[in-house]
Amino acid sequence: MAPQCSARSRSKPGPWCPVAVLLLGVTLVFGGCASTPGDPLEPVNRKVHAFNESFDRRVARPVAEAYDNVTPRPVNRSVTNFFNNLDDVTVFVNSGLQLKGGDMAATGYRLMINTTAGIFGLFDVAAATGQRKRNEDFGQTLGYWGVPAGPYLVIPFLGPSNFRDAPSLYVDVRTNPSYHLDEIQRHSYFLVALYAVDTRASLLGASDLFDTAATDSYSFMRDAWSRRRANQVHDGDPPDSAIPGYEDDDFDPFDDEGDEDLFD
């Protein structure tokens, strides 16, 4: 059964719940194709990919470039740090669900130090002490416990995903403090927009490489994202069976660089 927006959600509406339910609906609608190997949704995915590229070219990228040009670098960095600090709550929860005690403790330390000495995460004080940010989400948790990724899925506006990760976004939203804190929720739409612009601005360099390297942008994005995702789920050492075998899969986004890829 699809998750329902709670009474709390109805009394404090935000952008997250309807978006999450929409993503789950898209996943369930196409669930009948899941047994087909490779990329069974490619015709639909290509259309959504083309729409996303058009939206990015006309709206998202120009806005991100303007934001990057006018925002002082320290302010830009603090905005990113603030959202990273909120995300660390999700990382903390999923590290625990994956029984990664060391990562859980390290992320808990980051949260404590950055929320206090870092002024609600505006400054990444923990990084100066050697505690780098970790990245865990509920899709990775499901993968850790053996839930298969399922077919590749392109989501409107959000981009690459798969049948396991798309509905998992709903859980990640619910573990983000911005969903629960009244003072933040009053400005939720502004925060969502700021997060989207800040994230897109951080990928401007990758976009230049992508535009130069991709002869078929859909296949390039699908292959790069799928391999990166397998790498995340398996902590940098994915088995061959975890990497989707697309017929035109001839691109390795990692090469000899480990985690250095288009999306970081």
pTM for the model:
0.77
- pLDDT at position 210 is 75
CA dist., res. 263 & res. 207, Å (int):
9
- pLDDT at position 104 is 97
DSSP state of 178: G
| Three-state secondary-structure class, residue 155 | strand
- pLDDT at position 178 is 80
- Exposure on the CB side of residue 134, measured as CA atoms within 13 A: 28
CB 21 within 8 A of CB 170: yes
- pLDDT at position 243 is 79
Kindly give the confidence (pLDDT) of every residue in the chain, 264 residues in length, as a single tens digit, with 9 standing for 90 and above: 434 444 433 344 444 444 444 444 544 454 444 434 578 999 999 999 999 999 999 999 999 999 999 999 999 999 999 999 999 999 999 999 999 999 999 999 999 999 999 999 999 999 999 999 999 999 999 999 999 999 999 999 999 999 999 999 999 999 988 877 766 666 678 888 999 999 999 988 777 777 776 688 899 899 989 999 999 999 988 888 887 777 654 444 444 444 445 555
Alpha carbon 135 to its chain centroid, in Å, reads 9
CA nearest to 264, candidates 222, 198, 204, 203: 203
Exposed, middle or buried by CB within 10 Å (0-12, 13-18, 19+), for 9?
middle
Cβ-based neighbours of 104, under 8 Å, separated by 6 or more: 92, 95, 96
Task: Write the DSSP string, 218-246.
Answer: HHHHHHHHHHHHHHHHTTT---GGGS---
